[in-house]
């Protein structure tokens, strides 16, 4: 249904407010020049992002523990597993690292709705392969004074997704040495440096 502009204008005039006052453009805090956000990673606050990957090449996990410096965790799993098992593996690996570092307050983000909802108790863990992981994870949770688990879409969890995918595709021979991967941000063209 369409409405002609004149009909709308006539209606507004007919029903105008008798005590109308123009909008005041008064800003009570106009002397404030800048608002600073609270620093993320305040002392004692840690954040863990995790993701697991299982594909035709293999399985791998990736996690990033933050406060204030990032601590990457990436492992290639030398056994066949489902994506959900890989998700539990990496969540447990991240929690264990946080426990080693004596973290007591932790915010955890993962892109697996199944795992997050099972940990939070919203969904029951029915898969026999996942039950031992769920039980062990609940034991690890007791080590923290405060811990929260939240879902984060894969689009916002890209870095740990990349770590997990990379770890799943690497063929690491038995007895091979661990190696460190450094990724730098380059802001200029190579020939300008």
pLDDT value at position 40? Answer: 43
Q: What residues have CB less than 8 Å from 130, skipping those under 6 apart?
A: 84, 85, 88, 118
Number of H helices, E strands in the chain: 5, 5
Distance of CA 172 to the CA centre of its chain: 28
pTM summary value: 0.68
Per-residue pLDDT in tens (0 to 9) along the chain, 193 residues: 566 677 767 877 777 777 766 655 555 555 555 555 544 444 568 999 999 888 888 888 888 899 878 888 888 888 888 989 999 999 999 999 999 999 999 999 998 999 999 999 999 999 999 999 999 999 999 999 999 999 988 788 777 877 777 777 776 666 665 666 666 667 777 776 5
Q: How far, CA to CA in Å, does 67 sit from each of 92, 95, 135, 145, 149?
A: 18, 14, 27, 17, 17
CB atoms within 10 A of CB 125: 21
Angle at alpha carbon of residue 95, lines to 63 and 41, rounded to 5° = 70
Please name the helix (run of DSSP H) or strand (run of DSSP E) that holds residue 83, with its range, or none: helix 83-100
Domains, the chain, ordered by start: 45-167 (3.30.420.10)
pLDDT of residue 41: 41
Q: What is the pLDDT of residue 39?
A: 47
């Amino acid at each position: 249904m369409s409405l002609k502009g004149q009909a709308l204008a006539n209606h507004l005039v007919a029903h105008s407010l008798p005590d109308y006052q123009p909008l005041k453009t008064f800003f009570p805090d106009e002397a404030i020049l800048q608002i600073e956000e609270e620093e993320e990673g305040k002392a004692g606050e840690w954040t863990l992002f995790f993701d697991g990957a299982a594909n035709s090449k293999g399985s791998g996990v990736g996690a990033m523990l933050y406060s204030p410096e990032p601590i990457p965790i990436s492992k290639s799993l030398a056994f066949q597993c489902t994506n959900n098992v890989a998700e539990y593996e990496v969540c447990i690996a991240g929690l264990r690292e946080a426990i080693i570092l004596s973290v007591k307050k932790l915010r955890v983000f993962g892109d697996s709705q199944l795992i997050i909802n099972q940990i939070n108790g919203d969904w029951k863990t029915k898969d026999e392969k996942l039950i031992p992981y769920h039980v062990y994870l609940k034991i690890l949770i007791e080590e923290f004074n405060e811990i929260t688990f939240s879902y984060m879409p894969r689009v916002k969890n890209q870095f740990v997704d990349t770590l997990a995918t990379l770890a799943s595709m690497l063929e690491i021979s038995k007895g091979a040495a661990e190696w460190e991967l450094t990724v730098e941000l380059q802001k200029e063209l190579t020939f300008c440096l």
